[in-house]
């Protein structure tokens, strides 16, 4: 079958094949690690090869949007509520607000039932809160690309936000550029296992003896640089740990323990993007005025196309922005070019994920010697 031409460890789970299948004979099935992969119903497959034709791992993305030296800004929303409640500087919210106020639609990831992460489409300002902020596990896309195409064919303006591989999947699925589509990606470290995320929440619910009611990654209670994981519970209790103490974030950014296998050899880690705008945290940013408060959150904005440039121009009156260089970005965001290596204990983690507690697995898989601890502390001080 065509979809089986792609080796499993290369599949990004972008859902392009799932959306394009004219016979609906593909479904996305969870593996033992909790990641979704396409599975073919052989009885209905017509061997049309469309799934292979749109797969970003089998085909190159239709085009790159920018040059080797894109226009780069450090930026944040001048609305403090937006800035504080966003992952970095609130620029995605400002972009989305402009589209929504123009009568358009915005597609991003939200927490659904039981905090399951899924992509959705909104067309009201009230819906923006749900898709604001980073969600640190891979989302389910469903037939979202089909929905986007129908809106585009009806001449509606659509802003799509996703990982670089999801953006490539959408472009390949659509097979052509649309003037009314704006694609926003971000510098992605990797897609985490939905099952690891679920086990983390289950562990906390047991610890607090209460159901989780709100998940908030990169909470700024301790500031943007020390971003925290905040989980609120039905009994009124609250879990709050910063990036150096929260086990889930440590397992992600320090130990590389439960990212999708394809993330270890990601072909989309490049300055040449298929998106119109690329966003990220602007780690290590230095501004011309050192008295400006960057610790409320500072966004890196990379403009990749004329459409991206026009949209950014339209929000400038509501944001702080200072032009920077690509070198400024690379110093604090190596994942724009380089993939993180996988932890050698990753296999052990997933082998025992259903039987051992999240806490005990983290303690077992993330032991390190004193030299490793010193290196990590020094790295954090430098950042």
CA distance 251 to 349: 11
CA distance 9 to 306: 35
CA distance 188 to 12: 13
Mean pLDDT, residues 345-368 taken together: 91
Instruction: List the beta bridge partners of residue 160.
Output: 107, 183
Structure letter (DSSP) for residue 275:
S
From residue 25, give the alpha-carbon distance in Å to each of 16, 34, 148.
Answer: 13, 21, 21
In this structure, the chain runs to a length of 383
Query: What pLDDT, in 10s, does the model give residues 148-193?
Result: 999 999 999 999 999 999 999 999 999 999 999 999 999 999 999 9
CA distance 337 to 192: 19
Query: What pLDDT, in 10s, does the model give residues 101-151?
Result: 999 999 999 999 999 999 999 999 999 999 999 999 999 999 999 999 999
Nearest of 69, 273, 263 to residue 185 by alpha carbon: 273
Number of H helices, E strands in the chain: 14, 13
Phi/psi of residue 320, each to 5°? -85, 140
Q: Is 324 exposed, middle or buried (0-12, 13-18, 19+ CB in 10 A)?
A: buried
Residue 310 pLDDT exceeds 80: yes
CA distance 258 to 355: 16
What lies within 8 Å, CB to CB, of 380 at 6+ separation is 244
Q: How many CA atoms lie within 13 A of 293 on its CB side?
A: 9
Mean pLDDT, residues 236-244 taken together: 96
Query: What pLDDT, in 10s, does the model give residues 312-327?
Result: 999 999 999 999 999 9
Residue 1 pLDDT exceeds 90: no
Q: 135-168 burial, b for 16+ CB within 10 Å, e for fewer?
A: bbbbbbbeebbebbbebbeeeebbbbbbbbbbbb
Mean pLDDT, residues 9-29 taken together: 94
Nearest of 92, 180, 172, 173 to residue 132 by alpha carbon: 92
Residue whose structure tokens are 């897609």: 191
Domains, in order of start, for the chain: 2-54 (3.30.70.20), 67-383 (no CATH)
pLDDT category of residue 44 using cuts at 50, 70 and 90: confident
**Nearest-5° Cα angle at 13, 179 to 67:** 45
CA distance 289 to 280: 21
Phi/psi of residue 73, each to 5°? -135, 150
Nearest of 361, 336, 209, 199 to residue 281 by alpha carbon: 336
């Amino acid at each position: 079958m065509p979809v089986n031409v792609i080796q499993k460890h290369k599949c990004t789970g972008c859902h392009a094949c799932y959306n394009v299948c004219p016979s609906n004979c593909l479904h996305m099935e969870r593996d033992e690690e909790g990641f979704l992969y396409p599975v073919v119903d052989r009885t209905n497959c017509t061997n049309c090869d469309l799934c292979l034709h749109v797969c970003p791992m089998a085909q190159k993305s239709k085009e790159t949007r920018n040059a080797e030296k894109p226009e780069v800004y450090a930026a944040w929303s001048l609305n403090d509520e937006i800035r504080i409640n966003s992952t970095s500087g609130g620029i995605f919210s400002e972009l989305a607000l402009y589209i929504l106020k123009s009568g358009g639609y915005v597609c991003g990831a939200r927490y659904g039932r039981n905090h399951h992460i899924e992509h959705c489409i909104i067309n009201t300002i009230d819906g923006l809160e749900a898709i604001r902020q980073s969600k640190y596990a891979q989302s389910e896309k469903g037939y979202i690309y089909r929905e986007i195409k129908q809106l585009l064919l009806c001449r509606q303006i659509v802003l799509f936000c996703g990982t670089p591989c999801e953006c490539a999947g959408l472009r390949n699925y659509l097979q052509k550029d649309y003037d009314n589509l704006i694609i926003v990606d971000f510098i992605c470290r990797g897609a985490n296992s939905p099952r690891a995320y679920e086990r983390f929440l289950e562990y906390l619910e047991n610890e607090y003896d209460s159901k989780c009611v709100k998940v908030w990654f990169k909470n700024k209670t301790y500031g943007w640089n020390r971003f925290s994981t905040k989980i609120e519970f039905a009994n009124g209790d609250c879990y709050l740990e910063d990036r150096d103490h929260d086990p889930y974030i440590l397992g992600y950014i320090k130990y590389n323990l439960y990212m999708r296998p394809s993330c270890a050899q990601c072909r989309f880690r490049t300055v040449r993007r298929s998106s119109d705008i690329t966003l990220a945290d602007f780690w290590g940013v230095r501004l011309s005025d050192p008295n400006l408060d960057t610790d409320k959150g500072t966004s890196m904005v990379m403009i990749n196309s004329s459409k991206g440039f026009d949209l950014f121009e339209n929000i400038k009156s509501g944001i702080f922005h200072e032009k920077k260089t690509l070198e400024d970005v690379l110093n604090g965001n190596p994942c724009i070019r380089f993939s993180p290596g996988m932890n050698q204990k990753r296999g052990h983690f997933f082998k025992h994920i259903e039987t051992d507690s999240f806490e005990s697995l983290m303690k077992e898989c993330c032991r390190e010697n004193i030299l490793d601890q010193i290196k990590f502390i020094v790295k954090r001080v430098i950042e």
